[in-house]
């Protein structure tokens, strides 16, 4: 691919005053935001240039720009969610008033763009076609960056897979690189994710009114959809019809299935040389993917930075937006404008839960850190010493007709985040093991892992495991969690390791560590039928007795207090 970095004398003259103002909705939204830097420039907008996609389909694009003479770098923002709210103020207006051309484009088949949207398959080719179009624009000076959240992060990874020479910086916010992992985890279908993404990709690009109407319809019909037998196709009533790509992702659970070939951009981060800033939250549904991105970038020597806040997938762009925007802007200025003055001194900044404070770190997870295991004991205790041998300890019955509900954690719904787990832990199908009151603060910094020995009477079950912080008043709040699947012989112990994500959390003196276990979190995950059948196609469900054994362990990374 050719490089094109024109100088001021080679580019034809361009008159920005010929374009109009940003939409009124964007200007009103901008005026309502607090905690953001003042704009440096007035902003104009060219509305609706049709950029030819890889196959010639028109990709409808809005161009925001500073109303000023001179050269400014360009940011490419490609979205399947439309070009209106919140994208027009959040990316088009805010970054343009700080001195960037912003190209805000609707992916094919969305927001008026031609062609048919096909989850992930066209983003690399269409991204490169857009860069080819940029090279012909009189205002493009050869300095290109990308920025955006969620699926807008995926299109960045797709472009960077064969990075054009003009690409000098990326900012991936709560971003996706592996679609399979968004829809499946631990051998389970992430049902609530699938439905929420289905609504977002089907309706959000049509405008806020259709999107809100569809979201409310899904909420009203969520129970009927998520308890249907079979599950396949039941979403159609809530989503207003069939969504072919949603059928496909729900019915292809195996990451090695040819259906998913080419979907993951994991390999991109392993050879990338474009400086990349990463943003996530401890309760972001894509946090695990962000940590994977960071690890790969660091391993390959790519310049990178990581910001982890007390956010969910959506709150990072709402309550967390002033900090997310400031970090993103500093990164783009440093690498597109040769202005590193806004960069923080360390590569990693994390919010520490329990302490409600930010920490700057040299790496993630920080070193030194010591892995320490906690073990379940009779009476619901959690202890540091391991039992001798393996013996049945405690059991419960998982009833698919009354599945253990999901409560808080990394969800796409408004119920995401930290929640009082008392109602959940009062259920008969939830086990809890609780440590003694801590005599001094305990910091947990890094990945959390459960190593389980479990037996069942059917041989098939999901196991949901969660770390909680219990305060002196007995209130139990979720910190992190994970789900795994067991397939073994009935009544025979099976061993499995369940990753529970990562955390930076301080358990204060007087607080207690609690380990919570159950057989699912519905509708966050589709209910396991208990028979080994696919949860999407199963019509016959059976209760399962689940027994935890004494040689199970919860492993935490104990960090030193600063």
DSSP state of 365: S
Task: With beta carbons less than 8 A apart as the criterion, state whether 119 and 127 touch.
Answer: no
- The whole-number pLDDT of residue 561 equals 47
d(CA 330, CA 324): 10
- Domains of the chain (ranges; CATH) run 16-178+265-344 (3.40.50.1820), 182-258 (no CATH), 369-559 (2.60.120.260)
* Helix, strand or coil, per DSSP, at residue 376: strand
Taking only the tens place, the pLDDT of each residue in 125-151 is 999 999 999 999 999 999 999 999 999
Task: With beta carbons less than 8 A apart as the criterion, state whether 450 and 498 touch.
Answer: yes
Nearest to 365 by CA among 499, 266, 502: 502
Q: Residue 31 burial (CB < 10 Å; 0-12/13-18/19+)? A: exposed
Planar angle of CA 140, 143, 149, nearest 5 degrees: 100
Lowest mean pLDDT among 19-23, 219-223, 326-330: 19-23
d(CA 261, CA 121): 10
Beta carbons within 10 angstroms of residue 127's beta carbon: 28
- The whole-number pLDDT of residue 3 equals 44
Instruction: Find tokens 């049709």 and name the residue.
Output: 50
d(CA 353, CA 351): 6
Q: What's this model's pTM, rounded to 2 decimal places?
A: 0.94
- The whole-number pLDDT of residue 10 equals 53
pLDDT > 90: percent of the chain? 86
Q: What share of the chain is helix, strand, coil (3-state, %, to 5)?
A: 25, 30, 45
Taking only the tens place, the pLDDT of each residue in 407-425 is 999 999 889 999 999 999 9
CA dihedral (188, 190, 192, 194) positive or negative: negative
d(CA 396, CA 463): 12
Peptide bond into 368 cis (omega under 30): yes
Kindly report the backbone phi and psi dihedral angles of residue 336, in degrees, each rounded to the nearest multiple of 5, phi listed first.
-110, -20
d(CA 75, CA 65): 10
Contacts of 281 (CB under 8 A, 6+ apart): 174, 287, 308, 309, 310, 311, 312, 313, 315, 316, 320
d(CA 226, CA 211): 20
Nearest to 417 by CA among 287, 279, 558, 239: 287
pLDDT level of residue 196 (50, 70, 90 thresholds) = very high
- The whole-number pLDDT of residue 560 equals 53
d(CA 534, CA 253): 9
- The whole-number pLDDT of residue 4 equals 46
Contacts of 516 (CB under 8 A, 6+ apart): 421, 424, 425, 430, 431, 432, 465, 466, 467, 468, 476, 478, 481
Taking only the tens place, the pLDDT of each residue in 465-520 is 999 999 999 999 999 999 999 888 898 999 999 999 999 999 999 999 999 999 99
- The whole-number pLDDT of residue 424 equals 97
Taking only the tens place, the pLDDT of each residue in 224-261 is 999 999 999 999 989 999 898 999 999 999 999 999 99
**pLDDT of 9 higher than 60:** no
Beta carbons within 10 angstroms of residue 441's beta carbon: 14
Task: With beta carbons less than 8 A apart as the criterion, state whether 543 and 399 touch.
Answer: yes
Average pLDDT over residues 312-323: 96
> Strands (DSSP E) along 402-527, which ranges?
431-434, 442-456, 460-470, 476-487, 494-507, 512-518
> Quick one: CA torsion of 89, 95, 96, 97, rounded to 10 degrees?
90
- The whole-number pLDDT of residue 11 equals 55
Query: What mean pLDDT is reported for the chain?
Result: 93
pLDDT > 70: percent of the chain? 96
- The whole-number pLDDT of residue 562 equals 47
Taking only the tens place, the pLDDT of each residue in 352-405 is 999 999 999 999 999 877 889 999 999 999 999 988 889 999 999 999 999 999
Q: Find the helix or strand (DSSP H, E) in which 400 lies.
A: none
Taking only the tens place, the pLDDT of each residue in 534-558 is 999 999 999 999 999 999 999 999 8
- The whole-number pLDDT of residue 2 equals 36
Taking only the tens place, the pLDDT of each residue in 51-91 is 999 999 999 999 999 999 999 999 999 999 999 989 999 99
Kindly report the backbone phi and psi dihedral angles of residue 299, in degrees, each rounded to the nearest multiple of 5, phi listed first.
-65, -35
d(CA 281, CA 501): 12
């Amino acid at each position: 691919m050719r490089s094109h970095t024109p100088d001021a004398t080679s580019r034809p003259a361009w008159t920005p005053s010929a374009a109009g103002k940003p939409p009124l909705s964007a200007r009103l939204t901008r005026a309502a935001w607090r905690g953001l830097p003042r704009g440096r420039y007035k902003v104009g907008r060219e509305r609706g240039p049709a950029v030819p996609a890889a196959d010639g389909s028109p990709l409808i694009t809005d161009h925001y720009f500073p109303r000023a003479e001179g050269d400014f770098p360009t940011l490419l923002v490609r979205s399947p969610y439309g070009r209106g709210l919140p994208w027009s103020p959040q990316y088009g207006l805010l970054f343009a008033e700080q001195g960037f051309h912003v190209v805000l484009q609707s992916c094919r088949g969305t927001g008026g763009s031609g062609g048919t949207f096909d989850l992930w398959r066209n983003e690399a080719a269409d991204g490169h076609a857009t860069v080819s179009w940029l090279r012909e624009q009189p205002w493009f000076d050869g300095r290109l960056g990308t920025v955006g959240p969620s699926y807008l992060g995926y299109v960045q990874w797709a472009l960077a897979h064969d990075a054009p020479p003009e690409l000098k910086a990326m900012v991936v916010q709560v971003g996706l690189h592996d679609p399979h992992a968004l829809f499946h985890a631990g051998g389970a279908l992430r049902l609530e994710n699938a439905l929420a993404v289905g609504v977002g990709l089907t309706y959000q690009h049509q405008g806020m009114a259709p999107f809100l109407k569809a979201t409310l319809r899904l909420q009203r019909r969520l129970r009927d959809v998520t308890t249907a037998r079979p599950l396949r196709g039941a979403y159609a009533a809530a989503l207003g019809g069939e969504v072919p790509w949603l059928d496909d992702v729900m019915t292809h659970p195996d990451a090695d299935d040819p259906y998913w070939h080419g979907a993951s951009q994991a390999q991109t981060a392993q050879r990338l040389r474009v400086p990349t800033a990463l943003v996530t939250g401890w309760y972001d549904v894509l946090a695990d993917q962000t940590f994977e991105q960071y690890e790969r970038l660091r391993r390959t020597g790519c310049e990178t930075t990581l910001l982890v806040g007390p956010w969910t997938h959506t709150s990072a762009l709402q309550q967390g937006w002033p900090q997310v925007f400031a970090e993103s802007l500093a990164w783009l200025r440093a690498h597109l404008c040769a202005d590193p003055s806004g960069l923080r001194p360390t590569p990693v900044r994390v919010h520490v839960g329990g302490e409600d404070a930010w920490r700057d770190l040299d790496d993630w997870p920080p070193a030194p850190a010591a892995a320490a295991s906690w073990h379940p004991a009779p009476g619901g205790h959690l202890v540091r010493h391991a039992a001798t041998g393996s013996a049945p300890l405690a059991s419960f019955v998982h009833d698919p007709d009354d599945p253990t509900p999901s409560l808080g954690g990394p969800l796409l719904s408004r119920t995401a985040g930290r929640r009082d787990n008392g109602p959940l832990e009062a259920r008969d199908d939830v086990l809890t093991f609780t440590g003694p009151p801590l005599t001094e603060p305990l910091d947990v910094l890094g990945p959390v892992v459960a190593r389980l020995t479990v037996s069942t009477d059917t041989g098939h079950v999901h196991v949901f495991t969660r770390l909680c912080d219990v305060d002196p008043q007995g209130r139990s709040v979720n910190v992190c969690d994970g789900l795994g699947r067991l397939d073994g012989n009935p009544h025979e112990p099976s061993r499995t390791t369940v990753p529970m994500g990562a955390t930076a959390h301080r358990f204060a003196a007087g607080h207690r560590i609690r380990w919570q276990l159950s057989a699912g979190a519905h509708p966050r995950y589709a209910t396991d039928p208990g028979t080994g059948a696919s949860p999407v196609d199963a019509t016959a469900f059976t209760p399962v007795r689940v027994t935890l054994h004494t040689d199970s362990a919860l492993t935490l990374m104990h960090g030193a207090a600063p």
